[in-house]
Structure 1
Amino acid sequence: MVSRSSTRFLNICIASFCKAKHLQRAETVIIDGIRLGVLPDVVTYNTLIHAYSRFVSYDAAYSVLDRMKEACINPDIVTYNSLIAGAMRHCLMSKCVELFDEMLELGIKPDIWSYNTLMHCFFKLGRPDDANRVLTDIIFRYLSPSPATFNTMLNGLCKNGYVENALMLFRNLKIHGFVPSLVTYNILINGLCKAWRLKTARWLLKELGASGLVPNVITYTTVMRCCFRSRRFEQGFEIFEEMIDKGHTFDGFAYCTVVGALVKTGRIEEASHYMERMVNTGIGLDMASYNTLINLYCKGGKLEVAHEVLDEMEKEGLECDEYTHTILMYGFCKEGDVARAMEYMNAVGINSNLVALNTMVDGWCKADRIDYALKIFDSMDTRDSFTYSSLIHNLCKVGRFRCASKLLLSCLRIGTRILPSAKRAVFDCLRHSGHHREAKRLKSEIKLALSAVF
């Protein structure tokens, strides 16, 4: 007679083989066990499902259900939670919903983990209303929501563009006794920063500090990066100094964020100091770090040093990406060798890259070859606000205000955002040239263009 402990031992062996990714050996153990009269149970098959979903495929994991039916073993909540996790791992969101429905049809009661995953799936599928109904269902079924439940809800709302709803839910949860964790605050701060709600994000950062929780590098870096993106550089540097004062250990991303902002504001010496500091701390340089370093030297007018860094990067086995090539093109343009930048762009095959083309438009303008810049502009399939803003500024500088006005209007009519400074440049150019009537007419045409778009 085979004891129950024999099946337990079988399951331990199978779990060990699965953990080591030896699935074929695990299958052999099951066959040998059956021959000896040691029958697998639901735990055996759940272990296989988990392993197949992790190391093989979702379909391989789901096929284990047929074997369970043949062995007259009923799947349980662990079975379906493992399958749902497998579908999630392979980004099969609709399958997660199907598995949940299948579980209900079999009379298996979902647990809080099942509901949390379903909620996450609905958000991934862009169905926030369904995700909200899942939360309501949890409450009506008297299940105790976990912190992960609320964090999933808040994260989903933020990522689907409902940051205000996430804040309202957060406040209501706190009133009803929910104690937010650092993860909760990081989710909300990240959502606010992505929605350009910097003021609210900074306010939440202060609330986080007052709550007794300690912000981590992710918290600070998220807000700092948003400050830099919003061109509020001094606020970003203040947050960086606060990170230093509190003794946080920086990663490469934090250093690169600060160095990039310092380069943008022309503070090359400070940027070099922090880049050197990052290297001295022993942080390994990745592709982003090398690009930041190359950009630093190009902006500082040290193109030869930038090429030395490029050689070092290639020795480390890293290949240049389009961003690296564009930085080097900018370096050539900065030295006044726009023709060489053009040759380089064509040689490396990035002549359809928007950032590279924007660099060339700006480069030819600064080389007083604005007609050549206009030719490149006309050849571009895609343009962004920087393309228009750069060209408009440079047209105004050489007094070609009528061309700048037409370009400004064409940009606004297609709904492309343009820098306010570019608009001001056109009006200033018209007024200083004594064309006050044209400035008034342009203002009226801009209003009409904006009303047609919105």
Structure 2
Amino acid sequence: MRRMAKFDHLYGRLSTKLLNICIDSICKSQQIEKAESVLIDGIRLGLLPDVVTYNTLIAAYCGIFGVDAAFSVVHRMKEAGINPNTVTYNSLIAGATRHGLFSGALDLFEEMLRVGMHPDLWSYNSLMHCYFRLGEPEKAYDVFHNIMLGGLSPCRITYNTMINGLCKNGYADNAIMLFRNLKRLGFVPGITSYNILINGLFKSGRFNNARRMLDEALKSGCPPNVITYTIVLKGLFRARRFEEGIEIFWEMKSKGYTFDAFAYCTVIGIFVKTGRIREANDCMAEMLKNGIGLDLVSYNTLINLCCKEGKLELAYQLLDEIEKGGLKCDEFTHTILIDGLCKTGNIEGAYQLLEHTTMLGFDSKVALNSFIDGLCKAGHIDYAMMMFESMEHKDSFTYSSMVHNLCKARRYHCASELLLSCVRSHIKILKSAQRAVLDGLCYSGFARKAKKLESKIRIARLLQSNLA
């Protein structure tokens, strides 16, 4: 009998463990309903869930549905007579932080302490991350200091959380100092740590320091990965250091790294911007040859770059590629092309494409805005005004753009009338457009009219606030 009881106990433990493995596997594939069904079936078969079962579900609910949904599982857990543990709270704190519920995450940490539960290293890591996201690096550093003094052994994630948080909060120098001190204390940084620092240095404008950090990673036997090179590529291109960025691109190729659509699109865009059309075409051909297909957003980005550089032939080649690839252009594709045609002076072609856009049933408001702006820039202000007045639906951008363009055409009186009618009609106009009208009137010798207009705008706003 004793042997049978021992066997039943062992069987129960193994069965619950198997149940937990099944639920964990299903949760990882984000099939929560199926995981819940497996749990119900397990209970029917006499397999009682334990704290691990519920913690697995809580972590999945936090990641997919949010913390509120996860709390419903905590409630079920307590009803089953199982008390939450540190892992439960860690999942809830991490979920709250991930969804931007920082005050909720801090409350959960306080609740842990209140019920007498001892936070572990993961609890403190999440707390540090939360403070950094709140923009309170001093408090995050206090948590880090307490970890170091409290007998817990910081892990690589602890150090990376500190370095990343300091960089993102504008303390790149402190991040470097911490990095150096940790190395002296025996911390062997991995490529993730270097990636965080390189990214932080680029974003803070420390381009030379970022490049030196890349060289240091290479010398320390920490080979850069595709993430490292993508960070460097983006950083150099944003700093308009195009040649250096292209060198990095070729270096990646020579080392056999595979690129994603983003890297290819970025480099192709730079080739177009610098007038290297043949290289842009070669790069695009290689991308397609390697089986890296572009989505419509990527195509629109490239078409926009081509239009901005006046390379309409290349833009239409991309349009052909979209059709060959089985994708369908959207209103943004048409709007980009309309803008490009206007900029090259092909107003007739732009108008025909605008009519085609409307016939296809796309929302033509954005395209119309672009067409009117293009007409103004091409010097056809009267035609633009006619199109503007014929529009059924106008938004804040439509009005602001028209006011700005009237000012550029030195039609300040007309711009002032339109501006005043917008203010009285509760239509928001960009402050830059308002300032353009007032400054234009003053510089043209109509300072008195500018003051009257400013007074009328103030009165209209006061009336609006009183009515509200």
Normalised to the residue count of structure 1, the TM-score between the two structures is 0.72
1:260 maps to 2:242: no
Structure 1 residue corresponding to 2:205, chosen from 188, 193, 196: 196
| 8 Å contact kept, 1:123–1:156 | yes
- Matched residue of 1:282: which SS? coil
| 8 Å contact kept, 1:17–1:26 | yes
Structure 1 residues 111 and 293, CA, compared in 2 at 3 Å: closer, same or farther? Answer: same
Structure 1 residues 206 and 361, CA, compared in 2 at 3 Å: closer, same or farther? Answer: farther
- Matched residue of 2:256: which SS? coil
User: Which ranges in structure 2 are unaligned for 5 or more consecutive residues?
Assistant: 389-395, 411-430, 436-468
- Matched residue of 2:118: which SS? coil
Which whole-Å CA distance do the structure 1 matches of 2:280 and 2:343 have between them?
Answer: 18
Structure 1 residues 17 and 179, CA, compared in 2 at 3 Å: closer, same or farther? Answer: closer
1:329 maps to 2:338: yes
How far off its partner does 1:134 sit?
A: 1.5
How far off its partner does 1:146 sit?
A: 0.8
Structure 2 residue corresponding to 1:237, chosen from 241, 246, 249: 246
Which whole-Å CA distance do the structure 2 matches of 1:374 and 1:310 have between them?
Answer: 34
Which whole-Å CA distance do the structure 1 matches of 2:235 and 2:63 have between them?
Answer: 36
Q: Which residue of 2 aligns with 1:300?
A: 311
Q: Which residue of 2 aligns with 1:432?
A: none
Q: Which residue of 1 aligns with 2:40?
A: 28
- Matched residue of 2:224: which SS? coil
Structure 1 residues 55 and 198, CA, compared in 2 at 3 Å: closer, same or farther? Answer: closer
Q: Which residue of 2 aligns with 1:207?
A: 216
- Matched residue of 1:231: which SS? coil
Structure 1 residues 257 and 62, CA, compared in 2 at 3 Å: closer, same or farther? Answer: same
Structure 1 residues 69 and 270, CA, compared in 2 at 3 Å: closer, same or farther? Answer: closer
- Matched residue of 1:215: which SS? coil
Instruction: Provide the aligned length of Structure 1 versus Structure 2.
Output: 386
User: Which ranges in structure 1 are unaligned for 5 or more consecutive residues?
Assistant: 396-409, 415-454
How far off its partner does 1:214 sit?
A: 1.4
Please list, as runs of the form range in 1=range in 2, the aligned pairs for 1:21-420 lying within 5 A after superposition. Answer: 21=31, 22-29=34-41, 31-32=43-44, 36=46, 39-295=48-304, 298=307, 299-302=310-313, 304-312=316-324, 315-316=326-327, 320=330, 322=332, 324-338=333-347, 340-341=349-350, 347=358, 349=363, 357=370, 361=373, 364-365=376-377, 367-369=378-380, 381=400
Which whole-Å CA distance do the structure 2 matches of 1:373 and 1:167 have between them?
Answer: 55
Q: Which residue of 2 aligns with 1:8?
A: 14
Aligned residues: percent identity? Answer: 47
Normalised to the residue count of structure 2, the TM-score between the two structures is 0.70
Q: More deviation in 17-26 or 228-237?
A: 17-26
After superposition, what is the alpha-carbon deviation per residue over 1:129-171, rounded to whole angstroms, capped at 9, x for unaligned? 2222211121121211111111111112222232232223222
Q: More deviation in 133-142 or 41-50?
A: 41-50
Which whole-Å CA distance do the structure 2 matches of 1:220 and 1:135 have between them?
Answer: 30
Which whole-Å CA distance do the structure 1 matches of 2:252 and 2:181 have between them?
Answer: 30
Q: More deviation in 150-159 or 340-349?
A: 340-349
How far off its partner does 1:285 sit?
A: 1.6
After superposition, what is the alpha-carbon deviation per residue over 1:179-203, rounded to whole angstroms, capped at 9, x for unaligned? 2211111111112222222222122
- Matched residue of 2:312: which SS? coil
| 8 Å contact kept, 1:19–1:51 | no
Structure 1 residues 63 and 214, CA, compared in 2 at 3 Å: closer, same or farther? Answer: same
Which whole-Å CA distance do the structure 2 matches of 1:312 and 1:104 have between them?
Answer: 61
